[in-house]
Amino acid sequence: MTLITRAGASFLVLALATVTYAAPAPETPPPAAPLPDAVGLTKVSARLAPVDLTVDVGALPAGERAALTELLAAAKMMDGLFLRQAWAGNDTALFELMRDRSPLGQARLRAFIQNKGPWLRLDGDRPFLPGVGPKPPQANFYPAGATKAEVETWMHALPAPARTSAEGFFTTIRRAPDGKLQAIPYSVDYQGELELVAARLREAARLTQQPTLRAFLEARAAAFLSNDYYASDVAWMKLDANIEPTIGPYETYEDGWFGFKAAFEAFICVRDDAETAKLTKLATELQDIENNLPIDAKLRNPKLGAAAPIRVVNQLLGAGDANKTVSTAAFNLPNDERIIKAVGSKRTMLKNVQRAKFDKVLIPISKIALAPRDRAAVSFDAFFTHILMHELMHGLGPHETAGGKSMTVRAALQQSYGALEEAKADIAGLFALQFLIDKGVLDRALEKSVYVTFLASSFRTLRFGGDAHAVGMAVQLNALLDAGAVRIAKDGTFSVDASKIKEAVRALTAEIMNVQSAGDGAKAAELLRVRGVIRPEVKAVLERLTKVPIDIEPRFVTAEKLLQERRAP
């Protein structure tokens, strides 16, 4: 309840500061399907388990703490900006919901805040407010009355520089008074809010003593006003500070027409130095792991390139696109190909978010899906270390096909590539952890935990349905079942057979890497067709998990505390 009040209050300020009105009535009438009632909607929202997200900021000097607090204030403004981007009617709808004190009004307000709009994102965008109609796929990036064909025809007819701008990440398409379409830079369309955000970033830059952080904040403040984000993205890649802010327009999923337009979001985090040290240790072992992969020696890479940087952080606040329904546990940015070519991209792992998911989702899953004797071995350390290893293992193994005409594995395997590559990173991650345990780099006590935790986690991944990670996970679980390395008891619970798991992991790692190296698209497709399926025994477990939360609903308590201190005289 307090979450709703606090988040609602911050939205209210933004709703009042923004002059946007509901979109014109949609051309098609709203569907006749009944809207969920208060009880039904409360049940739907409860699939995200509330959890306090805390971060220890005690070690930060006063100046850095003050800079962090300014960043939190800037980040909060991403919520209002994202609401405007997602749907033109959001501000009005939210304002009305906040005045509705009835149980139905309160249930709708919570659902609205979770979904950042009046459609249930986890349920095929089913509406839960009357009169809103189906979710417009073009969001509020294009004129409400325009059709996709009209916008596309207009874009294609533009001369080169104007077309690049119209199709770019950082413009909206609006209609001029004469009815013609035009591209408006974000710096103009969202000028009022972005000036306020930029002022906060400049104040944070003034407060911090960390040069790379100051450089990023000044560059990003300038980008919000100039609409040129290049220099600030480069500065973000060079960031080496105990405060890790990510703030701006990034992902393009909200643009359901073309995937062109970037949605505003923020992740305000502090670096986890202990985990970063652990990661550095694991990274130094990569060449040795590669040299010992269970594949033909000539398929191994004798000289691995530099791995993409990975940061382990704890999140204080997520806002805008980064704070709706399923919480982001890791992200890889930037998306701009020009930056990736010039300076690469960075993977950020949100450790406290993963901890919350572990506590609220993985532990309850393990209590239902695993045999009683395996449950106690499920551990967060094993869960998180395997996720780190998964990310690192994407860089190992064959990336080019062997033999005559060499090509990338991605090009050779085409639509089978994604699921197989995810399966490889998972299973080779287990192989690598065992290798490091045997080598004495990691504690022997981790051994049992690693496999049992992975087994519990496989059900978590399978619940998300048909994406590359879920199909890849089905391949692994079925292979381990076929090898007798995972067993199913009469009561339907799953367990690890310690005598068989190591060899099964080794064999599957070899099998997948050999298919990748051969570039055999037909064999890859066949492997996914046969093993990338949910078998009845697995389906039976998934059906028993319906009461377990799908994900978490974070309460950003440390962020709220810091912001309250800022407001106090």
Contacts of 405 (CB under 8 A, 6+ apart): none
Least Cβ distance, residue 393 to Zn ion (angstroms): 8
Residue number of the CB atom closest to Zn ion: 425
Nearest distance, CB of residue 33 and Zn ion, angstroms: 37
Question: What is the enclosing helix (H) or strand (E) of 48?
Answer: strand 48-52
Shortest Cβ 426–Zn ion spacing (Å): 8
Query: What's 326's DSSP letter?
Result: S
Identify which of residues 330 and 480 has a Cβ nearer to Zn ion in the complex. 330
Q: Count of residues binding Zn ion (CB under 5 A)?
A: 2
How far the first Cα of the chain sits from its last, in Å, is 27
CB 53 within 8 A of CB 59: no
How far is it, in rounded angstroms, from Cα 269 to Cα 316?
Answer: 5
Nearer of residues 98 and 428 to Zn ion, judged by Cβ: 428
Tell me how far apart the alpha carbons of residues 269 and 245 are, in angstroms, rounded to a whole number: 6
Cβ neighbours, 10 Å, residue 462? 20
% helix / strand / coil in the chain, to the nearest 5? 55, 10, 30
Single out the residue of 98, 266, 425, 548 in contact with Zn ion (rule: CB under 5 A). 425
Angle, helices 446-462/417-439, rounded to nearest 10 degrees: 170
Helix axes 62-86, 557-567, angle to 10 degrees: 110
Choices 209-217, 279-287, 419-427, 444-452 (CB under 5 A): range interacting with Zn ion: 419-427
User: Which one, of 360, 257, 316, lies nearest residue 562 by Cα?
Assistant: 316
Q: Is the Cβ of residue 221 or residue 423 nearer to Zn ion in the bound state?
A: 423
Nearer to Zn ion, 473 or 485 (CB): 473
Whether the CA torsion 548, 380, 247, 168 is positive or negative: it is: negative
Site for Zn ion in 527-566 (CB under 5 A): none
- In angstroms, what is the minimal distance from the CB of 421 to Zn ion? 7
Which of these segments, 95-103, 330-338, 343-351, 422-430, binds Zn ion (CB under 5 A)? Answer: 422-430
Distance CA 110, CA 116 (A): 10
Nearer to Zn ion, 94 or 353 (CB): 353
**Cβ 357 to Zn ion shortest distance, Å:** 16
Record the tokens describing residue 82, joined without a space: 């994202």
- Least separation in angstroms between residue 330's CB and Zn ion is 9
The nearest distance, CB 103 to Zn ion, in angstroms, is 42
Stretch that binds Zn ion, among 304-312, 418-426, 458-466, 526-534 (CB under 5 A): 418-426
Yes or no: say if 93 and 80 are a contact pair by the CB < 8 Å rule.
no
Find the farthest-apart pair of alpha carbons in the chain and give their distance in angstroms, rounded.
Answer: 75
Query: Does the footprint of Zn ion cover residue 423 (CB under 5 A)?
Result: no
Angle, helices 536-544/468-482, rounded to nearest 10 degrees:
120
Q: Which is nearer to Zn ion, 217 or 427 (CB)?
A: 427
Task: Respond yes or no on whether the N-terminal peptide bond of residue 536 is cis (omega within 30° of 0).
Answer: no
Name which of 26 and 344 has its Cβ closer to Zn ion: 344
Report the C-alpha gap between 352 and 333 in whole angstroms: 19
Q: Tell me which DSSP letter residue 246 carries.
A: E
Rounded least distance, CB 387 to Zn ion, Å: 9
- Residue placing its CB nearer to Zn ion in the complex, 133 or 472: 472
Of 422 and 553, which CB lies nearer to Zn ion in the complex structure? 422
Residues 377-416 as x/- pattern, contact with Zn ion by CB under 5 A: ----------------------------------------
What token pair was written down for 37? 């009632």
Cα separation, 299 vs 318, in Å, equals 42
> What's the closest the beta carbon of residue 198 comes to Zn ion, in angstroms?
35
In the complex, least distance from residue 219 CB atom to Zn ion, rounded to whole angstroms:
30
The token pair that represents 141 in the structure block = 């990036």
Specify the residue, 172 or 457, whose C-beta has the smaller distance to Zn ion.
457
The count of C-alpha atoms lying within 13 angstroms of the C-alpha of 447, restricted to the half-sphere facing its C-beta, is 16
Nearer to Zn ion, 41 or 425 (CB): 425
Quote the least distance from Cβ 347 to Zn ion, whole Å.
10
Closest CA to 329 of 311, 306, 352: 352
**At closest approach, how far in Å is the CB of 390 from Zn ion?**
6
Residues of span 76-135 touching Zn ion by CB under 5 A:
none
Stretch that binds Zn ion, among 7-15, 347-355, 424-432, 552-560 (CB under 5 A): 424-432
Looking at residues 284 to 313 of the shown chain, list those that interact with Zn ion (rule: CB under 5 A). Answer: none
Instruction: Give the residue with the Cβ less far from Zn ion, 70 or 422.
Output: 422
- Tokens linked to 516: 């990748």
Which range of residues in 48-56, 166-174, 258-266, 423-431 is near Zn ion by CB under 5 A? 423-431
Residues that bind Zn ion (CB under 5 A): 422, 425
